[in-house]
Chains A and B, each alone.
Chain A
Amino acid sequence: MIKSLKVLHHPLSDSLYQLALLEPDLDDSKSSFKAKLDEFGLFPLKPSALEIFQINLGKMCNQTCRHCHVDAGPDRQEIMSRQTMDLCLQVLKNTEIKTVDLTGGAPELNPDFRWFVQEIKKLGKHILVRCNLTIIVANKRFNDLPEFFKEHQVEVVSSLPSFTQDRTDRQRGDGVFEDSVKALHMLNVVGYGQEGSGLILNLVYNPAGAFLPPSQIALEKEYKKELSSRYGILFNQLFAITNMPISRYLDYLLTSGNYEMYMDKLISAFNPASVQNLMCRTMLSVGWDGYLYDCDFNQMLDLKVSASTSQHISDFDFEKLKNRDIIIKQHCFGCTAGEGSSCGGSLSV
Chain B
Amino acid sequence: MENHYYNSKDLDKFGNIAEYQKELADKFFAYYGEVFKDSHLTAKEKSLIALAVAHAVQCPYCIDAYSTDAYEKGYSEAQMMEAVHVASAIKGGAVLVHGIQMMNKVKEIGM
B72 within 8 A of A: yes
Contact A214 B38, beta carbon cutoff 8 Å: no
- A-side contacts of B43, CB under 8 Å: 215, 218
In angstroms, Cα B44 to Cα A222, docked, is 10
Nearest-Cβ distance from residue A167 to partner chain B, whole angstroms: 8
A222 vs B38: C-alpha distance when bound (angstroms) = 13
Contacts of B73 in A (CB 8 A): 214, 218
Cα separation A332 to B43 with both chains bound (whole Å): 28
B72:A166 contact, CB within 8 angstroms: no
Complex Cα distance, B71 from A213, in Å, reads 10
The count of residues in chain B whose C-beta lies closer than 8 Å to any C-beta of chain A is 10
Q: Is A209 an interface residue (CB 8 A)?
A: yes
State whether A162 touches B74 (Cβ < 8 A): yes
Please give, as numbers and ranges, the residues of chain A lying within 8 Å of B44 by CB-CB distance: 214, 218, 222
User: Which residues of chain A are near B42, meaning CB under 8 Å?
Assistant: 218
Contact for A166 among B38, B68, B76, CB less than 8 A: B76
Contacts of A167 in B (CB 8 A): 76
> Do A212 and B72 contact each other (CB < 8 Å), given the known contacts A218-B43, A222-B44?
yes
B92 to chain A minimum Cβ distance, whole angstroms, is 29
How far, in angstroms, from A162 to B42 measured CA to CA in the complex? Answer: 19
| Distance between Cα atoms of A213 and B43 in the complex (Å) | 14
Shortest Cβ gap from B16 to chain A (Å): 14
Contacts of A211 in B (CB 8 A): 68, 71-72
> Which residue, A164, A212, A215, has most C-beta atoms of chain B within 10 A?
A215
Chain A hits for B71, CB < 8 A:
209, 211
**Interface residues in B38-60 (C-beta closer than 8 Å to A):** 38, 42-44
Q: A241: shortest Cβ distance to chain B, in Å?
A: 14
Interface residues on chain A, number (Cβ under 8 Å): 14
Q: Is A219 an interface residue (CB 8 A)?
A: yes
Docked Cα-Cα span, A162 to B74, in Å, equals: 8
Of residues 58 to 106 in B, which have CB atoms within 8 Å of A's CB atoms?
68, 71-74, 76
Which residues of chain B have C-beta atoms less than 8 A from A164's C-beta? 76
Q: From B42, B71, B74, B76, name the one whose CB has the most chain A CB atoms within 10 angstroms.
A: B74
Given the interface pairs A209-B71, A211-B68, A211-B71, the reply to whether A218 lies near B38 with Cβ below 8 Å is yes
Is A207 interfacial (CB 8 A cutoff)?
Answer: yes
- Considering only residues 209-231 of chain A, those with a C-beta below 8 Å from chain B are 209, 211-215, 218-219, 222
- B72 contacts which of A162, A207, A222 (Cβ < 8 Å)? A207
Task: Please indicate the chain A residues that have their CB under 8 angstroms from the CB of B74 in the complex.
Answer: 162, 214, 219, 222
Beyond A214-B73, A222-B74, 5 extra complex contacts between A and B, CB < 8 Å: A162-B74, A164-B76, A207-B72, A218-B42, A222-B44
CB-based closest 9 A-B pairs: A211-B72, A214-B73, A214-B72, A211-B68, A218-B43, A218-B44, A218-B42, A164-B76, A218-B38
